[in-house]
């Protein structure tokens, strides 16, 4: 029997990159999976066709979209056992030049959505469930241009840490996974080829991460072997921080 047989999982931002790898891995491990996507219905359709997962169009910045996503997950999954909050907004730019509109957008996607997800999960998740937040190495390493992103992700990390305390009595774990440089569209959009070529030299394992590297860590936390880990931030960076 697959380790996640009978479990229901929701993954946000599941049509590409890390999110897609998570959908693929959780399905392979036996879970029934629903995932959100924001705009690319064609790509989401391919993921659904290849995995059997349920695609739901939802913009994580919109509260009503999240509420509809949560409702679809409740209706279509056998139960809510795993919630992986992966979708993110980077909002690159210097703090001195950032607009309040950009602040609102980035914090809505990265922080408010995490709050709403934890609040929802607290009410519907079955005992022994798993809440997993996908964050970023940038909450540990400050870098110019990612102030809004790092701050909003740090807020999400704190929601998860407190949830670990509040929900632990039901056997529900809540953890963060913080990837380092991972080969995704987001990484390539925000970095020059020259900068990316230097990454392996700063990584103990000598390469850029792959989405399935991160999905494997998330699958571990989502599965039965992750039952004794909660309130943690696992740096899945290949050794960029030692």
Active site residues: 149
CA distance 228 to 104: 36
Report H helices in the chain. Answer: 17-28, 41-51, 63-76, 100-107, 113-124, 147-167, 185-190, 193-198, 211-222
- Show contacts of 99-103: CB within 8 Å, 24+ apart: 102/148, 103/148
Cβ neighbours of residue 201 under 8 Å, at least 6 residues apart?
Answer: none
Whole-Å CA distances, 194 to 188, 190, 197: 11, 12, 5
Cα–Cα dist 122/102, whole Å: 29
Between CA 196 and CA 198 the distance in angstroms is: 5
Whole-number Å distance between alpha carbons of 111 and 117: 10
Instruction: Label residue 136 left, alpha or beta by phi (over 0 means left) and psi (-120 to 50 means alpha).
Output: beta
- Reading the block at residue 116, the tokens are 């709403």
């Amino acid at each position: 029997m697959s380790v996640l047989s009978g479990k229901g999982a929701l993954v946000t931002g599941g049509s590409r990159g890390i999110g897609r790898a998570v959908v693929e891995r959780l399905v392979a491990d036996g879970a029934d999976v629903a995932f959100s996507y924001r705009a690319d219905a064609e790509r989401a359709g391919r993921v659904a066709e290849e995995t059997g997962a349920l695609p739901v169009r939802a913009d994580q910045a919109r509260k009503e979209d999240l509420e509809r996503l949560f409702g679809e997950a409740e209706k279509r999954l056998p139960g809510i056992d795993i919630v992986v909050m992966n979708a993110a907004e980077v909002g690159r730019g210097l703090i001195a030049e950032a607009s309040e509109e950009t602040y609102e957008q980035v914090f809505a996607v990265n922080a408010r959505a995490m709050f709403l997800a934890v609040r929802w999960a607290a009410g519907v998740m079955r005992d022994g469930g798993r809440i997993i937040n996908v964050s970023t190495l940038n909450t540990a390493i400050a870098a110019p241009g990612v102030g809004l992103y790092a701050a909003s992700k740090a807020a999400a990390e704190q929601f998860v840490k407190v949830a670990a305390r509040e929900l632990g009595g039901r056997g529900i774990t809540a953890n963060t996974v913080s990837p380092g440089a991972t080969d995704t569209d987001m990484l390539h959009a925000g970095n020059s080829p020259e900068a990316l070529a230097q990454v392996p030299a700063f990584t103990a394992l000598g390469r850029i991460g792959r989405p399935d590297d991160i999905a494997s860590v998330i699958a571990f936390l989502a599965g039965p072997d992750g039952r004794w880990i909660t309130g943690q931030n696992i740096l899945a960076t290949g050794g960029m921080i030692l």
